[in-house]
Amino acid sequence: MQSPGYSRSLTPQSQVLYVGDGSHAAVRAIAALREQTTFEVSTVTTATAVLDHLEGGTVSCIVCATPLADMDVLTLLDGVRDVSPDVPFVIVSETDDPDVASAVLAYENTDFVRWDGESYRPRQLARRVENAVDRYRANRTANRTTAYFDALVNQAPDAVLTIDAANRIVFANPAVESVFGYAPGELVGEPLTMLVPEHLRQSHIDAFRRYQGTGERTIDWDYVELPGRHREGHEVPLALSFREVTYDGRRLYSAIVRDVTERKRAEDERRLLHATTRSVAAADTFLDGLEATIAEVCDATEWAYGEAWVPSKDRTHLERTDAAYAVSAAYEPFKRVSKRTSFAAGEGLPGRVWERSDPVWMANVAALTPDVFPRTNEAEDVGLKAALGVPVLDGDDIVAVLAFYMPEAKPTDDRLVDIVTTVATELGELMVRKRAEDQLKREKEFTEGALNALPDIFFTLGLDGRIVRWNDEANAVTGYGDDELDGLAPTELFSDDGAERITDAIERIYDSGSARVEADLRTRDGREIAYEFTGALLRDDEGDPLGIAGIGRDVTDRKRRETQLEASREKYRKLVETAPDAVFLVDAETGTIIDTNDAAEQLLGKRREDIVGMHQTALHPPEETDRYRRLFEAHVESGGVIREYEDYYVVRDDGTEVPVEISASIAEIDGRTINQAVFRDITDRKQYEETLAGLRAVTRDLMAAETKTDICDVAVSTVRDILDLHVCGVHLLDADERVLRPAETTAEAEELFDGVPSFAEGEGLAWRVYGSQTPERYDALPERDDVYNADTPVRTEMILPLGEHGVLTAGSTATEEIPEAKFDLAKILAANTEAALDRADRERTIERQRDQLQAELDEVFERIDDGFFALDAEWRFTYVNEQAERLLGADRSALFDGTVWEVLPEIRETEAYDAFHRAVETQNNVSHEEYVAALDAWFEYHAYPSESGLSVYVRDVSDRKRREQRLERQNERLESFASMLAHELRNPLSIAQIYLPTDGDEDETALERVADALDRMEDMIDILLVMTRGVEASIDPELVSLRETANEAWADVASEGGRLDVETDVQVEVERHHLRHLLQNLLQNAVEHGSEDDSAADDGVTIRIGALEDGFYVEDDGDGIPEADRERVFEAGYTTDDVGIGLGLTFITQLAEIYGWERTLTESDEGGARFEFSNVTVVPAADS
């Protein structure tokens, strides 16, 4: 494309300036230039005049005849080059001056001509001047053109990249920095793969090499969407178009790159809204809707954790429900804390939302004080910061508050607020629907009771003319059971004559609103009873028929439904293939289009020459000229890159309006301000959004439908009206006969096939799709070998599974293929239809299952000895047997007033709370044993989870636990007793054995030693009894001198080294032999283990005994006891000696427990062991 303003025809006429006198030989050459060229030749005689001409900027060449009268030629040449460095300068000299010639030729764009009489012809000089002018003009045009396109590219709103055959970047415009984060200078010379995500690099290299070798393209070069790699490492969604050019013999490849992050984000948001709508519509309960919605929002957005809060029963505070979702286990601590938290109005994030009834955003909850956000410390611990709370409204009442959190601090994001608010609105609508359904159910139960009390037959007929409702009198009179009457045509209960009259009466009811008829009712056993029947037409709020209600008997003839669901929706239009974007270059001052491209011709349906010269407002609807003029002026005034996402339109040549997305930038090109506007056709996007909106409305219709027939009718109508496929229907599975039967079809399908067929198992493509549960699209349908009917008039068809229910078929007799977008929308419709059919099945069976379950529970669980109760998914009691009522200490009727945590709050603080939740979350059985302080009892729980809740068996095991604890303590004491008995009695017995033989020799000393040994045995027996009986042992304490008792104990300890210092005279309230044995154990332990280093001083270990404020201590300066072993040394059996039994320090612990002392083992100042005994009754010696 040649740019306006830069063609040769628009360039001013070239001017040659001759300087010299008229007598010079070069004058003849100048005359030849005038005659033979279009050049304008001017003549001056002085060098000063030359410089004046140059200031006008119109000189294309200077011819200088030397010598000059007023200036040296080289001086003139210097002056010319200062003003115009590129203008050609030709010097004509009649003399041969090599120095001048050499100096002249050293300049760029200069020439030196030696005019040597007739040997140099004027035409030769003229040709050299003409060539110089042409070169000057060509260079100037090239420079202007290069500057023009450089300005366009460098100021373009989209990134432009050029690579060479080596896959290296050779050019990048400034816009690349906004897309990739790199400045252009950082990219030039680098491989393109630095901008390609790592997982795509090898495929890019392979495709680039294949194209260079074979010319084969693997992607659409006009438009393709691929991810790029940002400088910070994350991926950026991009829209690209490519071109190959050859420049200076090199193959180069250029790409225009646009960041489509915002558009992708908008598409993701639409998908999120659709997914949450489906989840909410498929939910059975309000809590299910909350839980599904929170998970959808967190998975599709930046929220990392979400939770739901509901008002308490008395509406005094908010409580967190079990509906919570975290994308990572790291947020589980915050989730657990929230579960045990409640908020009053205005308190915390949920409480503020509850108080204001509006969304509340907190930029960083971890930075708030607890009075603003009570869980701020917990949020900081797990890394949660920005938060949003929104209300879920039922009319003007708040029924729930949704709260979401993310790990980054962030100011208010209106986009996220709008998304979550929309989701909350969907939840509110679900609440309204569920309440209406519950009310309808209660009304139906009341009506059934009243009708069954009537002495006459009551019946209603549906619009299909079959019996849909009756009372018990109808069964009693006709003799038919419920299964036989359900769906029976009323004419089958009469003879031919009676059937004719019934048919006539039905017609009169539809004509006039009511009718009365007499006919003989034929019972099951063949009897005929004369009955009078009165019927009336039932209508809905809009006056449309619902069916017939009657007293006496039911009436109707088979009728096809007279009305079908009508909806006013815009027909789904075929998506238009996306073309490259249209570009318009507009004069910023006049608003006139000065250039455009091929895509603009396609967009407007006009030739380029018709577009160029138009005013920019002429591109748009004429009634909005002022609006687009203001938009253009705002773009020009801003001077930067602007993207517009509002509703803008262009008008094609045929008058149609096309929606576009506009981005624009301002560029200065050769002193001219240009508005560069890029128009993107967004027709497909608009259509897709409108169709999605239609499907969203259909989803509500599907979920509101009460029967499978109604659901199928909505689905078929949607395919016909919105997807614009008129040959469609729903086939549902007949499970008994394994046949797919038509449940609902369009009139076009009925007429085309003269009755839509059923498909036996294995027949046709319908069974193939049903078996694989995979949607399929078929083109050229009659040519397939596996088609059900080879002569089918349907040419293209898609078949979509509806789960276990059946299939949805939609096709056309036209030959064009079904677009991918339409196929995707059909998948969404099929999924919603399947969810609606699932809901219909569940609602039909739930009542029967609940009654059966209740009967079984009453029968089984009232007979068992254990307590048993059942909880539903919302932690409410559904059953409690008599034993459980007794064990839980609550009236059975009170247990049904709320959740288990509300009616039994003491359980919330026990381990059973976590055990029950773990069972539900993992769906694994849990057994648990725990002491419940509030009930002063031990309970054994066995919890069995299911999809509907939790079954719990509970047993009081308090007696068993007490027996086990007593037996355990007794066994420990007996074991200790046996060990100590053997060890402690060994020494006294050995002494007695030694000295008893000397008794005959009347050795009094020996007898004294035997007596001492026996006394020691008596003390040991007393001490061992204390150890065995524990705190139940009987003691008789007295004030005992600590110093005296320590010296007595020291005398019993082996005195091989060591020294004892008693630094106190206090008396201790204790039995003397108990204190002596305690000190003896400590002193013996210090002597034996205080210093195990052979290099220790000869004096051995030093032991000090002193008083504390409420006790005493025993310490040494030995090696001490490692901190890791300081608790283990008190355990029975702990010893570092091969011959020790490890009971000495165990006795110390038991003795301290008996007297209520606190014992502590630490380190002395010298690094040895220090035993401290506190809470001891001590009395100074003077006070005793």
Where along the chain do its domains lie? Answer: 8-152, 155-259, 270-438, 454-551, 582-681, 688-845, 862-956, 965-1179
Distance, CA of 113 to CA of 497 (rounded, Å): 129
Q: What topology is assigned to 270-438 in CATH? A: Beta-Lactamase (3.30.450)
Distance, CA of 835 to CA of 775 (rounded, Å): 16
Residue 147 has a pLDDT of 66
Higher pLDDT, 355 or 1131: 355
Checking if the pLDDT of 864 tops 90, the result is no
Location of structure tokens 């009198």: 473
Distance, CA of 911 to CA of 233 (rounded, Å): 46
Residue 1058, classed as helix, strand or coil, is: coil
What backbone torsions phi and psi does residue 230 show, to the nearest 5 degrees? Answer: -80, 160
Residue 331 has a pLDDT of 92
Higher pLDDT, 1019 or 493: 493
Checking if the pLDDT of 10 tops 50, the result is no
Distance, CA of 149 to CA of 667 (rounded, Å): 11
Return the sign of the alpha-carbon dihedral for residues 1042, 1048, 1052, 1055. Answer: positive
Kind of pairing between the strands at 89-93 and 59-66: parallel
Residue 365 has a pLDDT of 92
Q: Is domain 582-681 in CATH 3.30.450.20, yes or no?
A: yes
Q: Which of 165-169, 206-210, 258-262, 684-688 has the lowest mean pLDDT?
A: 684-688
Residue 431 has a pLDDT of 66
Instruction: Give the tokens for residue 1106.
Output: 């002193």
Residue-wise DSSP of 656-724:
-EEEEEEEEEEEEETTEEEEEEEEEE-HHHHHHHHHHHHHHHHHHHHHH--SHHHHHHHHHHHHHHTS-
CATH superfamily ID and name for 862-956:
PAS domain (3.30.450.20)
Q: Average pLDDT of 177-202?
A: 91
Higher pLDDT, 281 or 1125: 1125
Residue 17, classed as helix, strand or coil, is: strand
Checking if the pLDDT of 1067 tops 80, the result is yes
What angle do helix axes 261-282 and 820-861 make, rounded to 10 degrees?
Answer: 30
Q: What topology is assigned to 8-152 in CATH? A: Rossmann fold (3.40.50)
Q: 2.102.10.10, 3.30.450.20, 3.40.50.150, 3.40.630.10: which CATH number matches 454-551? A: 3.30.450.20
pLDDT band for 307, please (50, 70, 90 cuts). Answer: very high
Cα–Cα nearest to 622, from 600, 658, 650: 650
Q: Average pLDDT of 665-683?
A: 78
Please classify residue 816 by burial: count the beta carbons closer than 10 Å to its beta carbon, then call 0-12 exposed, 13-18 middle and 19+ buried.
Answer: exposed
What is the arrangement of strands in the sheet containing 360-362, beginning at the earlier edge strand?
342-343, 318-326, 305-311, 397-405, 387-394, 360-362
What is the arrangement of strands in the sheet containing 739-745, beginning at the earlier edge strand?
759-760, 739-745, 727-734, 806-812, 796-801, 776-778
Q: Average pLDDT of 781-786?
A: 80
Cα–Cα nearest to 1074, from 1129, 1128, 1036: 1036
Q: Average pLDDT over the chain, rounded to whole?
A: 81
* Same fold for the pair 8-152 and 862-956: no
Higher pLDDT, 318 or 628: 318
Distance, CA of 771 to CA of 432 (rounded, Å): 38
Q: Average pLDDT of 1134-1151?
A: 64
Checking if the pLDDT of 1142 tops 60, the result is no
Residue 454 has a pLDDT of 66
Helix (H) or strand (E) run with residue 639 in it: none
In terms of phi and psi (left: phi > 0; alpha: psi -120 to 50; beta: otherwise), the region of 671 is left
Proportion of the chain above pLDDT 90, given as a percent = 18
Q: 3.30.499.10, 3.90.930.12, 3.30.450.20, 3.20.20.10: which CATH number matches 155-259? A: 3.30.450.20
List all residues 6 or more positions away from 393 whose beta carbon is below 8 Å from its beta carbon: 357, 399, 424, 425, 428
Distance, CA of 308 to CA of 420 (rounded, Å): 13
CB 619 within 8 A of CB 630: no
- Long-range contacts (CB closer than 8 Å, 24 or more residues apart) made by 1137-1145: 1137/1088, 1141/979, 1141/980, 1141/982, 1141/983, 1143/976, 1143/979, 1143/980, 1143/983, 1144/1081, 1144/1084, 1144/1085, 1145/1081, 1145/1085
pLDDT tens digit sequence for 85-118:
888 988 888 777 777 788 887 888 888 887 765 5
Checking if the pLDDT of 1054 tops 60, the result is no
Distance, CA of 310 to CA of 392 (rounded, Å): 9
Q: Which CATH class is domain 965-1179?
A: alpha beta
Q: Which of 453-462, 561-570, 1050-1059 has the lowest mean pLDDT?
A: 561-570
Q: What topology is assigned to 688-845 in CATH? A: Beta-Lactamase (3.30.450)
Highest mean pLDDT (candidates 865-869, 904-908, 1054-1058, 1111-1115): 1111-1115
pLDDT tens digit sequence for 522-552:
888 888 888 888 888 888 888 888 888 877 7
Checking if the pLDDT of 793 tops 80, the result is yes
Residue 1140 has a pLDDT of 47
pLDDT tens digit sequence for 719-742:
888 788 888 999 999 988 999 999
Please classify residue 859 by burial: count the beta carbons closer than 10 Å to its beta carbon, then call 0-12 exposed, 13-18 middle and 19+ buried.
Answer: exposed
Q: Average pLDDT of 588-608?
A: 86
Q: What is the three-state SS of 973-1025?
A: HHHHHHHHHHHHCHHHHHHHHHHHHHHHHCCHHHHHHHHHHHHHHHHHHHHHH
pLDDT tens digit sequence for 385-419:
999 999 998 878 888 999 999 999 989 888 788 88
Checking if the pLDDT of 1029 tops 90, the result is no
pLDDT band for 576, please (50, 70, 90 cuts). Answer: very low
Q: Average pLDDT of 350-369?
A: 93
CB 770 within 8 A of CB 758: no
Q: How far is CA 543 from the centre of its chain?
A: 46
Please classify residue 354 by burial: count the beta carbons closer than 10 Å to its beta carbon, then call 0-12 exposed, 13-18 middle and 19+ buried.
Answer: buried
Residue 380 has a pLDDT of 93
Q: Average pLDDT of 295-310?
A: 89
Residue 117 has a pLDDT of 56
CB 523 within 8 A of CB 477: yes
Q: Average pLDDT of 595-610?
A: 86
Residue 857 has a pLDDT of 59
Location of structure tokens 């252009």: 184
Residue 354 has a pLDDT of 92
Residue 784, classed as helix, strand or coil, is: coil
Residue 407 has a pLDDT of 93
Checking if the pLDDT of 821 tops 80, the result is no
Higher pLDDT, 565 or 1006: 1006
Instruction: Give the tokens for residue 637.
Output: 């005034």
Residue-wise DSSP of 217-249:
-SS-SSSEEEEEE-TTS-EEEEEEEEEEEEETT
Checking if the pLDDT of 1004 tops 90, the result is no
Distance, CA of 770 to CA of 1078 (rounded, Å): 86
Q: Average pLDDT of 909-926?
A: 88
Q: Average pLDDT of 779-801?
A: 85
Q: Which one-letter amino acid corresponds to residue 445?
A: E
Higher pLDDT, 1107 or 1029: 1107
Higher pLDDT, 819 or 1166: 1166
Kind of pairing between the strands at 40-44 and 15-19: parallel
Higher pLDDT, 601 or 453: 601
Residue 469 has a pLDDT of 83
Return the sign of the alpha-carbon dihedral for residues 1163, 1167, 1171, 1173. Answer: negative
pLDDT tens digit sequence for 951-987:
888 888 888 887 777 777 666 666 665 556 656 665 6
Checking if the pLDDT of 695 tops 90, the result is no
